[in-house]
Structure 1
Amino acid sequence: MGRTAKKGDNVEIHYIGTVDNGAIFDSCDDESPMLVTLGQQEIFPALEDEIIGMRAGEVKNILIKAENAYGPRLDDNTLVVERSLFPTSKTIEVGQKLTIEFADGEQRIMLAIKVDDEKVTLDGNHPLAGLDLTFALKLARIIT
């Protein structure tokens, strides 16, 4: 039967990750497997907990709730700024990713979600925040 995966094991996983509407957000297969050391917080702890106890070759559908993945969408992660803060020569469109530098020197990539002549609304939430994630996952092998 083979042994089961436990914390500290290096494992190779293959998966297809989808959101509620079935859209694929990520995948890795035989050609590009993901190598993970269980217990090292390299993946969501909730996903790691599901892999622990699996055997090599085992397949599982795993639902990770939003709060255990990228968390909820937070209004605090949106920002409305004056259009005049950007160079007039810079075209800004909805859906465009912009690197914003804050007063403390921190830089964040934010998504323009609303643009008009006076204001630009930016969203700093992770694109998958607020979404439950489903992984069709195969534990390909346990590397000892």
Structure 2
Amino acid sequence: MKIEKNRVVRFHYTVSEPGQPPVESSRDREPLAILIGHGNIIPGLEAAMMDRVAGDSFEATVEPGQAYGERREGFTQRVPKKHIREPRLAPGQQVVINTSVGPRAVTVVKVGATVVDVDLNHPMAGKSLQFQVEIVDVREAEPVEIEHGHVHGEGGAQH
């Protein structure tokens, strides 16, 4: 079965910047399960998966515009320290803050007595990403998965 919109794909991946050591890998855990065509992974990786089948392994380079976007200079915000749950903060540290649109990964720029300046760019913004991917399996999505926009059951939401 080929990968196309409204199919569930389980896959392993390793991601790095070209020529650099891996940043993240799923090899030491269960494969990631996503519903194709619903914005659950970066667009460039999803596009590289299209028309592949279970058992395929491939490499794909995804440019910033199809990954986490270009870096935006000056894209910072001052946040009250009480909104960051980390007990100790230092410049360069990555933390997650809750926003009106959900959790967001940010990088600490400056720590004050009661406020923290954070860079709102995604930590991988402006970077080309090299993926090594192994497609584990592909199946038709259940109607409820399509309705909810994500995978249920093994590797997905448990609701």
Three-state SS of the structure 2 residue aligned to 1:62 is: strand
Deviation at 1:133, TM superposition (A): 0.7
Identical-pair percentage: 26
Three-state SS of the structure 2 residue aligned to 1:76 is: coil
Deviation at 1:23, TM superposition (A): 2.8
Distance in 2 between residues matched to 1:46 and 1:97, nearest whole Å: 24
RMSD, aligned CA = 3.3
Q: Which residue of 2 aligns with 1:39?
A: 37
Three-state SS of the structure 2 residue aligned to 1:143 is: strand
Give the alignment partner of residue 93 of structure 1, picking from 90, 109, 113.
90
Give the alignment partner of residue 109 of structure 2, picking from 95, 113, 128.
113
Give the alignment partner of residue 17 of structure 2, picking from 16, 19, 43.
19
Unaligned runs of 5+ in 1: none
Deviation at 1:41, TM superposition (A): 1.3
Q: TM-score, normalised by structure 2?
A: 0.66
- Alignment check: 8 A CA contact 2:11 2:137 kept: yes
Deviation at 1:128, TM superposition (A): 0.5
Structure 2 vs 1, CA of residues 108 and 41 (structure 1 numbering), >3 Å: closer, same or farther? closer
Q: Which residue of 2 aligns with 1:138?
A: 134
Deviation at 1:5, TM superposition (A): 1.6
Unaligned runs of 5+ in 2: 141-159
Q: Which residue of 2 aligns with 1:122?
A: 118
